[in-house]
Amino acid sequence: MSPVAGPSGPQDAYDYTEGASPIDINNALAYSRRSSQLSVYNDDEGTVFSGPGHSVNPSSVTRMSNLDPARRSWSRSRRKSHDSGISGRPSIERRLSQDSQHTQVSGQDSEEEDGDAGSRRRSSRGRSRRSPSPGPVRPSVLGNWASLFGKTQTTQDSRRLSISSGRSSASLSRRSSRSDAGSDYAVETDDDERWGYSSGEAESDGESSGRDDASMARSMEYNSEPPSPIMGQGLPLLTSDPVFGGESRIEMEFSFTELEPAPPGPPSRQQIYVEEDDSTVRLMGYEILLWRQWLWRIGCLFTFGILGLLGHWFPRLWLGSVTREKAFKDIRQGFVVVESSNRDVVLVSLRKLDYPFPVTTVFPSLSSDQSSSGSFNKTGETYDAETRMLHSLIVVNYRYSRFALDPRNGLFYVMRNWRDSSWTSSSVLQAGLQENTRRQRATLFDKNEINIEAKSAIALLIDEVIHPFYVFQVASIILWSLDDYYYYAFCIFAISVGSITTTLVETKKTITRMREMSKFNCKVSVVVGGAWVELDSTDLVPGDVINLSSSQLSVIPADMFLLGGDAILNESMLTGESVPVSKVPVKDEDLVKWKDGKVENSKSFIYGGTKVVRIRASTTNDGSQGRPALALVARTGFDTTKGALIRSMLFPKPIGFKFYRDSVRFIGVLAGIALLGFSISAVQFVRIGLKWQTILIRALDLITVVVPPALPATLSIGTSFAIARLKKSGIYCISPSRINVAGKINVCCFDKTGTLTEDGLDILGVRPLDRNVNRFGELLDDIHDLPLGKDKASFLHALATCHSLKMVEGDIVGDPLDVKMFEFTRWTLEEGTIGRTGVIKAKSGAVTEQTSLVQTVVRPPGSAQFKLEDALKGNAKRAHFLELGVIRMFEFVSSLRRMSVIVKRLKSNSMEIYVKGAPEVMLDICEKDSFPEDYDDLLSYYTKRGYRVIAMAGKSIEGLSWLKAQRMKREQAESRLRFLGLIIFENKIKPGTAPAIQALRTAHLPCRMITGDNPLTAVSVARECGLVNQAAYIFFPTFVRGDATVPDAKVEWTCMDDPLWKLDTYSLKPLSPPLHHTAEADEIGYHDYSLVISGDVFRWMISYAPLETLQRMLVKAQVFARMSPDEKNEVVERLQGLGYTVLMCGDGANDCAALKAADVGISLSEAEASVAAPFTTSTADIGCVIGLIKEGRSALVTSFSCFKYMALYSLIQFTTVTLLYSFASSLGDFQFLYIDLFIIIPIAVTMGRTLPYPRIYIKRPTASLVSRKVLSSIIGQIIITSTVQIWAYSWVRGQEWYTQPPSPDTKDGSNQLESTNFENSVLFLISCFQYIMVAGVFSIGPPYRKPMWTNVLLMVSLSVLTAFNLLVLLSPPQAIADLLALMIIPKAGRLKLLLAVAINTATCILYEGFGSLVVAGLVGQILKGRKSTRRIRETGGKVYKAVEGGMR
């Protein structure tokens, strides 16, 4: 349990309020709550310069400001109404927008930054890389069987365990109207393969570049969402592996399925954007027709359950056959179909809750025009329109989110968006709820628990068995049993049972682990009916007031607003921010904004699931505990931020991967080949006169030959071995499907601090001012050498007070930079808990307000051992002891890049204001004459050498009282300051950084740095670690007119080493250099210069720059500096939009959103929030990137090898069986068993054990099965092996010792075909060598894997099998010959077969090494003429390559 900090011993303290009356204090506090302070920016995305006091808002990572809607990246994460085409929620009073036929509801607010003068809009993109996790389940076995034949709806959607991760893609915006002049190098793509572009960018150049009111009006119509990228028809939803970039990325978010017009009357369809789940869903009401349901059941009976299986796999088939569409409010015996944007369909039942309460307790009030025009606002079974009372409430629970049906308009409402209209003042809310209100809300929101339903083992077994893969397995086993092929059928059955058992055990473990992670309950003190009672945390409801001080919490049980006291929490589980975050009581204006549907202010919002570091009640003047720390419950259960995180793990977005799409299509081609081969064989069977039963069994058996049941399992072998090897090297994967994604990485992005450089900063020293010469003084590394100076605002006092540190159990807690700075002063810190609390009383004497009057007290070394009054006696020996109290703090705001404090010195007549921030912002807030002459030179000196520089400024205000300090606005405090000096921090590069960057650049993998640090410092670190070439010219943009908010602003790109050298502002190519340069402009190559860009220019370019310039900047920039967390996310998305497959490596703090957005995210943090990234490492070094890319490429090549091998194995066996079918013969049972069990399985398993190659090759492996190289290889090997078999078949028939097989007995009752003949023996012997030979040919070694001979198990398997095959061919023991039904072949014939095998092997090896490349090249030459007329999209979507080509 986390202790609640108590007061220190009583001590007389200085009255910092200077005798202000309680009424004055009360007025000052009220004014403080109302004042438009810039410190309430709600800018919580984290620091830019790693300054103090920053926090991260886990529920809604803020997006960039000043984005023109026309240029904003279309993200499926927290999309705005004008972006998504789905109606937004302008206010909480009216979140339901209705047109003449349907209404679409969005959970997205029209958000505004709190207190931001620019009224910044936010378009959050919360990305999640999710871990393998189970989905909600159906409750019973009977329900599973009923779902097959009766399609009984469920209360929770049933979904198979998915291991895929979601990735929301971003895109490049359309060109602005100013760029319509065009460019030869601007890259556009067509709609049908716009894999990285937003749907909003599909329009032609002639169309308007923005979304106007008309487009928003169209978005109100049903089925009018923006067109999604059009995929190939019938693209399978494969949840086993997500998409990844370049030519291999496939967007899986479609437009919803086109439907017939809805029936007239109340709404039966509705689209809802669920903000916290980052998904759009469509709800449709259906009612079951009993006579159709009985017909369906009869059909299932007559088809032996096949129709039921088809209905389970294809729900639309069942819906069209059994149900009809029905209005939501009129459904009696039916359900709601929920369709996600990836066309995943789930049937969910309607629940009817007894709810005799007013309708306004659930739904927001309708506007007057909606109430008057609503034709459905009538009294019904669940609602009385006259009294506006509900009788019952219809709800739908979908993926643990609750939707309630509003009986007034027949539309569903997202219950997570519920707000209490009475939440306007924290003082009013402290009375808590009455018991009847708590019962009402308990019914409405259910229990406050994140309880993941657990399936029984039987239910899991049924779900697993009815999966298409296992259905095919079962069908194959039944077929083999009917064919008397018992041995192999039993072996496959045993393997399948083992596989299913392993899957069930792992699934149960995963469910158990998830349940343990998500469930939590404790005892809490709650106000109920005006009295404190102890309740279980699962009984909490929104509106409950909790006493945090007495509850002794270790983990926060729900999302809450802090009403009183203060708290320090560890939010690493949600945000990855390892620095504890301080919370302050909520202000009334924040509550009002929350009530009106805005996002919460994270500075006063306590997120469920976060760990308590300290909760502290306020204290009174005598040192005793005053008012306790109180909190107001805002969200419970799955509606909390932790619940949304758990839900994102349970239901990751299915995203396609081109390799798997191609593999499914290839399997379809194999099935087609099987049908073609059987059609030819069937003619011969009929001619011979075989029974139809035999013909049918042979046909089905041929399908199992061509499409082997073990094929899907072999594709995951490489990934499994890669995960095991990564784990040994300290890299842990929570999304195994991302292993193959790592094989396609073509750009690596890194955070700087904590990733490329050491996590901790060391103070190199401070540079104070020498006012006598108006220059900087010497670098001081000892605080005792720092002169106090004559001014009251001193550098030393600024260092001691300008921070946001806290003291927890004797330890200083806060930002590492702040901690280092304060430790440098060697002062002592004490929080304002002793006699520094103002008590405000009403006329009745009751306490109405209480606040900390002094936030922090600091003293120089030695002061703590003296009593405070001793320092006030005026004794000269003790006169140097002093005390500084922080009266007020303006917290760090990343957009301002500074923080400030108001400080009162003991017994002083004045107060001092100190500001700490980025050096460049000081120029705007300090008086010009306070800067030394060498300010720019010294700043440039340190930043270019990679040092972190923080500037300090201050001023003294005489006669400033405590009341006036509370009334002061931030812009008043942070103005007309005097510059004090610089703090120089040393941030050393990690030892493994430079070698890793060098290895990546050697492999031609572009590297990018995305940091919040100063551009000069970032460039210095980039050059030091080799990320940027030491000799490269670096160009940096600055505004010469306007700023990031001005569309017509002008940006100038200047060389950092020579300000006279510029870039062309449109093409971003160097202009002619100044005369003193020896190089000419045309001699500066593409790789001779690089770009660095800051966050403000980046925002402007995203919003207003021409598309061509934006594309070139993204391709050419290597350092992105001064980037906030949302801008880091945006950089990743924009790179993906150009076709890059992006790897992001960060420390998991303010990189959380970028780690989620990237194709592959690696967190160097071991905090619980590493769940944000699919990979985490125990060694905080970017060397893990090298290992991951090597393993990814190895796993991808292994998957290709295994697939090609299994495809060749199938076709080799198909050729053998087809030739034997020509005269009604086939392979024997033990021949099949030997091939399938003793040759194929050992080889397929051991092929994946080859280790990755030690170095990263300069080219990536392909991810397309339909590439020229892959198809040339497969088709060529098929032709070679088939030719050898056809030769052997013809050769044996021409030998003098050959005897014809007996004619088949058509009267025999058995369906077996004769297998003892010379053709069978020859083809069997030849094919056994071919299986082994093809394995060797396809066991690709360098440049992605080590040579085949290093795989000991594979070499042993190949050697043993080859030796055994030679034995069987040259001198088979009689027992083996009898078992395999082999004919006796003369020695000369055996040697000739051996020679054929040798020639076959040599031909296949030569073709794979040389021939396939030649054939692929010829095909490329043939297609070259056609490609000249194709657009860029035909290159596989590599837009960045076209952009690079235009800049060379």
Which residues are part of the catalytic machinery? 751
Q: In angstroms, what is the C-alpha Rg of the chain?
A: 36
Query: CA 51 from chain center: how many Å?
Result: 26
State the DSSP H helix or E strand holding residue 920, giving kind and residue range, or none if neither. helix 919-925
- Peptide bond preceding 90 in cis form (omega within 30 of 0): no
State the DSSP H helix or E strand holding residue 98, giving kind and residue range, or none if neither. strand 96-98
SS3 for 1033-1076 is EEEEEEEEECCCCCCCCEEEEEECCCCCCEECCCCCCECCCCCC
- Residue 1138's closest CA among 1114, 1109, 1119? 1114
Give Cα separations from 622 to 11, 18, 80, 618 (angstroms). 8, 18, 52, 12
Query: CA 802 from chain center: how many Å?
Result: 36
Distance CA 550, CA 523 (A): 10
State the DSSP H helix or E strand holding residue 345, giving kind and residue range, or none if neither. strand 345-349
Per DSSP, the three-state class of 1435 is: helix
Decide the pairing of beta strands 1007-1010 and 1117-1121: parallel
Give Cα separations from 1103 to 348, 548, 1045, 1083 (angstroms). 42, 45, 9, 33
State the DSSP H helix or E strand holding residue 915, giving kind and residue range, or none if neither. strand 910-917
Give Cα separations from 752 to 67, 1150, 1226 (angstroms). 26, 12, 65
* 1124 within 8 A of 45, measured Cβ to Cβ: yes
Amino acid symbol at 1215: T
Amino acid symbol at 496: S
DSSP string, 861-914: TTGGGS-GGGGGS--GGGTT---EEEEEEEEEETTTTEEEEEEEETT-SEEEEE
Distance CA 1435, CA 1448 (A): 18
For residue 988 the two structure tokens come to 């050393």
Q: State the CB neighbour count (10 A cutoff) for residue 182.
A: 12
Per DSSP, the three-state class of 838 is: strand
For residue 800 the two structure tokens come to 């001691």
Give Cα separations from 883 to 798, 801, 863 (angstroms). 13, 11, 8
Interior/surface letters 1313-1322, b for 16+ CB within 10 angstroms, e for the rest: bbbebbbbbb
- Beta carbons within 8 Å of 1242's beta carbon, 6+ residues apart: 1357, 1361
For residue 1213 the two structure tokens come to 């066996």
| Tokens 């085409």 -> residue | 85
- Residue 524's closest CA among 492, 552, 486? 552
Residue 1389 φ then ψ, to 5°: -65, -40
The sign one gets for the Cα dihedral 319, 322, 328, 332 is: negative
Amino acid symbol at 615: I
Q: How many residues in the chain?
A: 1448
Distance CA 932, CA 935 (A): 5
| Tokens 């096949």 -> residue | 306
